Structure 1
């Protein structure tokens, strides 16, 4: 039988092994003075994040898919009334119907699926995730470029790179550094439901790559003069690459093309 301390390559396990980083992460996930009523932890592992997170919320559901680790977690937090260890795959969980937060050291290989789960949960208020640094930088525009997922969800969610964690703070150390990404649901969406549907179609069209540029792609669905006027309103050059357009300029494009 495998020893509980061994890691699984299949589960993409890299355990956080730095207490200061764990405390910093917990402060980012649940800011001081704002205790979370309900927090779901993704991949509790050995409990490095569970402990500081539990001090900052009223109820914590710690999900762990590896059965070798569940017993240790339950023993460690058996006397903590705030923590309930859930054995199983976080992605198979049904999202709570009441407002809740998500936090955790995400397996790099499952990041996209976990982020998608969060974005689809109607009652999610925010998610704080330790991911591969490249993923965090791409999603938050830290490279000076933006992805379709970020643009498409921007009216409802704010994406922010909240920090970086060196690879040597994990055991075993992954090949790359990690980033802390914050996804926060806006208290009031920037667009209503009807306008958001138009926004999503505009973003999909813009990132379709048809025509060779954002300007050319948008002209497939809008008159050339309107696209030209929209680009002037957004202060964009006609040759700009789609990934170089920040969310605020997309909002100007949307406003100009739909009014």
Structure 2
């Protein structure tokens, strides 16, 4: 009798249990009443979010890893021609070559892998993901600090925290609230493609902690006078912690150190 609960915990399943919340998340995923040509849903679950996303899509691929839920999903949406229920692990899916969006109530334990999949997908336009609130706040700078992943991907992707969902809107109720992260691929990257390799090297060096500070880390690859000048141009104190540097200041550092 306890098997379904054990499976739910193993898959990190917390289903949306509130129609108004599902509608709110669908509006965040497809804003301004638009329709998207192709949307991939991560973790369709019992279909609460699927039902709200379907009218906003020309084609919706609803991915569900739990084999117990797939037949119910297919029965529920058999009269909704734009919905295709796909059984299996979303991470095994090859990203489409044509523009597409992603949305979903992400299993908390698999958030990092799903986000990485989205960032690697060159045809992705945007992703709207329910994650643990802590993850959402860290990735979007909501604490006043920024992570390596966010800064490294910033020239090509914009990160925003667009919502907070009370944990009681899920079943079973998780221990923490959820946040809604929206990641949008920039139509025009902030850097030229040829500069992205040097950007990643600079950011990874800065976050390496080598030398004990951002200023000291960057001095391992650049003369002190150039690092000093870059910090002045970016209006940064030499004692600033690496996580406290916003992405736009990183862009100025890169501009000064690569010129």
TM-score (norm 2): 0.98
Change (3 A) 1:5 1:214: closer
Superposed displacement of residue 53, structure 1: 0.4
Long gaps (5+) in structure 1: none
Deviations 1:18-76 (A, max 9, x none): 11111010001001232110000000000010000001010000000000000100000
Give the alignment's Cα RMSD to 1 decimal.
Answer: 1.3
Q: Deviations over 1:76-98 (max 9, x none)?
A: 00010110000000000111110
Within 1, Cα distance between the matches of 2:237 and 2:6?
A: 54
Shift of the alpha carbon at 1:7? 5.5
Say if 1:7 and 1:14, in contact at 8 Å, map to a contact too.
no
Asked if the contact 1:4/1:69 (under 8 Å) is kept, the reply is: no
Counterparts of 1:87 and 1:190 in 2: how far apart (Å)?
37
Aligned ranges 1:213-232 → 2 under 5 Å: 213-232=213-232
SS of corresponding position for 1:248 = helix
Q: Which residue of 2 aligns with 1:190?
A: 190
> How many residues end up aligned between the 2 structures?
259
Runs of 5+ in structure 2 lacking a partner? Answer: none
1:144-187 deviation digits (Å, cap 9, x = unpaired) = 00000000000000000000001110000000000000000001
CA contact (8 A) 1:118 1:124 kept: yes
Structure 2: distance between partners of 1:206 and 1:182: 25
Deviations along 1:93-113, one digit per CA (max 9) or x if unpaired, are 111110000000000000000
d(CA) in 2 for partners of 1:124 and 1:194? 21
Q: Which has the higher helix share?
A: 2
1:2-151 equivalences under 5 Å are 8-151=8-151
